[in-house]
Chain A
């Protein structure tokens, strides 16, 4: 076979849901992803070319040339080959490399950090019972909110970035609106997780006393109490469809209807405490109307009336969710994860095994394609977000990995661990991108700002560190 006579192949572009795009194309075997991208963009007829990733038959990614992929898979060249295209994020987040500041101020370990949905503000809760707000442009303390009487275990921003809710070990929930705070008491035991509903009015809190409470933040009182779990509720998530998902130490995950507080379903299957939950639409619900692609160097507040913001948020939500219902992943002490379709079905979609110690946190990537699970066995595993198939393992930490955070373009992952380092991983290659030492003791909380510029990490050494490029 002469060099000019390259084999050709018929391929058919498909999107992730299986819908075909155009008719089968005849392409030479040595075509590269760039050329495929040009062709596909032309077919999609968009104004701006979107970066795309191509997967042969949905499995193997086309990295250098189609030919290599085909030979690796051993596919017949006679038939039409389906090639799935996936739009990647247009913007690219750069890896953080240096610690720009170490913010002192807390007098006890920092246990939770959260960026506001636009990335303009940073709040951190700590064992010294205060919640501190930090100004990110000057990297100095902005405001200290006192009012709790015990360790502040969890903080949650509302999706419009205007309010913050924090829960403490003495079962108090505090709601901070700009600079004034209202304390709403009270549960019987400590508050584990808080989350504000996408419309920013209701707040749901889960607690060790086995109940979940829905609070009305405008009226300042408890609306509903959902009981049903027999042991401490470890995690609660507010879904976009008006459903509430809760996980508990009694090994079950329960699905509730938020409007009337009725329990819809109980998802069973785990063999030990269910530690953590993750929804595929988590990131969208968290950032609301803010679009990471429009982020600028100076983070701005989202402007617009409540109606406009709601519209924008709804659009973004529908785009990411697509036609499939929301997916839920639960990670547990029995070393496995389950992938559920909670709105439809009681049976899990997939059971993901492989960890050799308990799973502490699971997180969907912002584009919902990938899933990362951090575990006490010092590794992070990446799974496919749709099917639950195992993709790769990220090893490098020498002690338990506590928390992970995705960058807004889903290409990078930062993980904080009990060995006092943070590591930035490149998902495409599966390798360590950057090692971030500097903390003097365990790193308890990690967060990547939605505009992709900064990573904040807080730990047992009482200081909060901000990392930038």
Chain B
């Protein structure tokens, strides 16, 4: 490593040695042999470091070579046949929108046994009694306060008959009784208006479950025979669980998400 330009100066003044270019060429061609000799003979820590560095260099070289080669030839990418084989009569048609339900009966049964539910809304705000039930005063002097009226949307079954008005403690007004829910299938993103079969669980309190009060987060059972789902055993599925996702008393309708 010259510290100054005296070599260049000499070359400018006097030119190269007569055999300079020849020597240079031959030295460069010997480089490969010398490098390989070094790589073979080196030992110890020095060798380790050298080999590591050399390996990284080689990888880079190979990559650039491959890149250059790829640019030369154009290849048709046809090795893999696409998935989703359909028979000839279905080829020109779009796929039918249909829920894939095949392992779900088993999964649901297992979950029911375990008592664990994976629901879209795991945590909901618990609703206190003062919010859900309104006190109704009765009696000659309007002092008796044992009757309650439900202020949220509820579901009563088909064969529901009120208890004699004098004795009924919980009043469920007809205006707040709903029979149908708008249920969305989470994978298909399609919404159906399905009749409700019953209220399975209201997260706020078991009392609300027995009354049939539907608030946000309640799990209800809906009639899915419209969708045409079949189990592996060949039976038609007609009831499924869905979780309510809106506040029905504010919106006037029940929106739910199907639990698949």
Binding site for B on A (CB under 8 A): 108-109, 111-112, 126-129, 149-151, 153-154, 169, 190, 192-193, 232, 234, 249, 275-276, 360-361, 378, 398-400, 402, 418-421, 435-438, 440-441, 444-445
B91 x A437 contact (CB < 8 A):
no
B98 interface contact, C-beta 8 A: yes
- Which residues in A have their C-beta under 8 angstroms from that of B85? 108-109, 111, 126-128, 151
Once the chains bind, are A419 and B87 in contact (CB under 8 Å)?
no
CB distance from A292 to the nearest CB of B (A): 26
Indicate if B121 sits at the interface (CB-CB under 8 A): no
Within 8 Å by CB of A398, from B83, B89, B228, lies B228
Nearest residue (CB) in B for A129 is B81
* With contact pairs A149-B81, A150-B81 given, residues A420 and B230 touching in the complex (Cβ less than 8 Å): yes
- CB pair A440–B102 under 8 Å, yes or no, is yes
| Residue pair B92, A232 in contact (C-beta under 8 Å) | yes
**Known contacts A111-B86, A153-B88, A154-B88; A437 and B234 CB within 8 A of each other:** yes
Complex contact B89–A402 (CB within 8 A): yes
Contact of B78 among A149, A400, A421, A438 (CB under 8 A): A149
Q: List 13 A-B contacts (CB under 8 A).
A: A109-B86, A193-B88, A360-B89, A361-B89, A398-B229, A398-B236, A399-B228, A400-B96, A402-B89, A418-B98, A420-B102, A420-B232, A436-B234
B232 contacts which chain A residues (CB < 8 A)? Answer: 420, 437-438, 440
6 tightest CB-CB pairs across the interface, nearest first?
A127-B85, A437-B234, A111-B87, A398-B228, A153-B88, A109-B85
Inter-chain contact count A-B, CB under 8 Å?
Answer: 78
Q: Per-residue 0/1 for B89-127: is the Cβ within 8 Å of any A Cβ (1 yes, 0 no)? A: 101100010100010000000000000000000000000
Assess whether B87 is in contact with A275, with CB atoms less than 8 Å apart. Answer: no
B233 within 8 A of A: yes
CB neighbours (8 Å) of B91 from chain A are: 153, 169, 190
- A399: B residues at CB distance < 8 A: 96, 98, 228, 230
A-contacting residues of B (Cβ < 8 Å)? 78, 81, 83-89, 91-92, 96, 98, 102, 228-230, 232-234, 236
Residues of A within 8 A of B236 (CB): 398
With known contacts A112-B87, A153-B87, A418-B98, A127–B234 Cβ distance under 8 A:
no
CB distance from B105 to the nearest CB of A (A): 12
User: Which B residues touch A275, using CB under 8 A?
Assistant: 89
A45→B87 CA distance, assembly (Å): 49
Find the A residue at minimum CB distance from B237.
A398
- A420–B234 CA distance with the chains assembled, in angstroms: 8
Taking A111-B87, A437-B230 as known contacts, 5 extra A-B pairs with beta carbons closer than 8 A to each other, sorted by chain A number, are: A150-B81, A398-B229, A438-B234, A444-B86, A445-B87
- Bound CA–CA A153/B81 (angstroms): 13
- A128 CA / B92 CA spacing, docked (Å): 19
Q: Contact at A190–B88, with CB atoms within 8 Å?
A: yes
CB of B103, distance to nearest CB on chain A (Å): 9
CB distance from A207 to the nearest CB of B (A): 10
Nearest CB of chain A from residue B122's CB, rounded to whole Å: 31
Please give me the residue from chain B that is nearest to A193 by CB atom: B88
Q: Which of A361, A378, A418, A437 touches B233 (beta carbons < 8 Å)?
A: A437
When C-beta atoms are compared, the residue in chain A nearest to B231 turns out to be A437
In the complex, A276→B88 CA distance in Å?
Answer: 11
In the complex, how many angstroms separate the beta carbon of A450 from the nearest chain B beta carbon?
Answer: 22
Residue of B nearest to A273 (CB): B92
Chain B residues, CB < 8 A from A149 = 78, 81
A418 to B229, CA, bound (A): 11
Q: Which residues of A contact B228 (CB under 8 A)?
A: 378, 398-399, 419
Name the A residues within 8 Å of B87 (CB-CB). 111-112, 153, 402, 444-445
B96 contacts A418, C-beta separation under 8 Å: yes
Contact of B234 among A129, A151, A435, A445 (CB under 8 A): A435
**Residue of B78, B84, B85, B233 with most partner-chain A CB within 10 A:** B85
What residues of B have a CB within 8 angstroms of the CB of A234 in the complex? 88-89
Instruction: Give A153 to B86 CA distance when docked, in angstroms.
Output: 8
Residues of B within 8 A of A436 (CB): 234
What residue of chain A has the Cβ atom nearest to residue B78's Cβ? A149
A441 and B84 CA atoms in complex are apart in Å by: 13
Alpha-carbon distance between A419 and B81 when the two chains are bound, in angstroms: 26
Q: Which residue of A lies closest to B230 (CB)?
A: A419
Question: Would you call A127 and B96 a contact (CB within 8 A)?
Answer: no
B76 to chain A minimum Cβ distance, whole angstroms, is 11
Bound CA–CA A86/B168 (angstroms): 72
Contacts of A169 in B (CB 8 A): 91
Please report the C-alpha to C-alpha distance between residue A111 and residue B228 in the assembled complex, in whole angstroms: 23
CB A412 to nearest CB in B, in angstroms, measures 19
| Interface-central residue, B83, B232, B236, by most chain A CB under 10 Å | B232
**Please, how many angstroms separate the alpha-carbon atoms of A239 and B129 in the complex?**
79
Q: How far is the CA of A436 from the CA of B234 in the complex (A)?
A: 8
Residues of B within 8 A of A440 (CB): 102, 232
Q: Chain A residues with Cβ under 8 A from B83's Cβ? A: 108, 127
Q: A418-B96, A441-B102 are in contact. Are A398 and B230 (CB under 8 A)?
A: yes
- Taking CB atoms, residues of chain A closer than 8 Å to B81 are 108, 127-129, 149-151
Chain A contacts of B230 at CB under 8 A?
Answer: 398-399, 419-421, 437
- Chain A residues with Cβ under 8 A from B102's Cβ? 420, 440-441
CA distance A276 to B87 in the complex (A): 13
Contacts of A150 in B (CB 8 A): 81
CA distance A414 to B29 in the complex (A): 80
Q: B88 — which chain A residues lie within 8 A by C-beta?
A: 111, 153-154, 190, 192-193, 234
Quick one: closest B residue to A445, CB to CB?
A: B87
In the complex, what residues of A have CB within 8 A of residue B233's CB? 437
Residue numbers in A under 8 Å from B234 (CB-CB): 421, 435-438
> How far apart are the CA atoms of A435 and B231 in the complex, in Å?
13
Chain B residues positioned under 8 Å from A112 (CB to CB)? 87
Q: Which residue of A lies closest to B227 (CB)?
A: A398
For A126, the chain B residues whose CB sits under 8 A away are 85
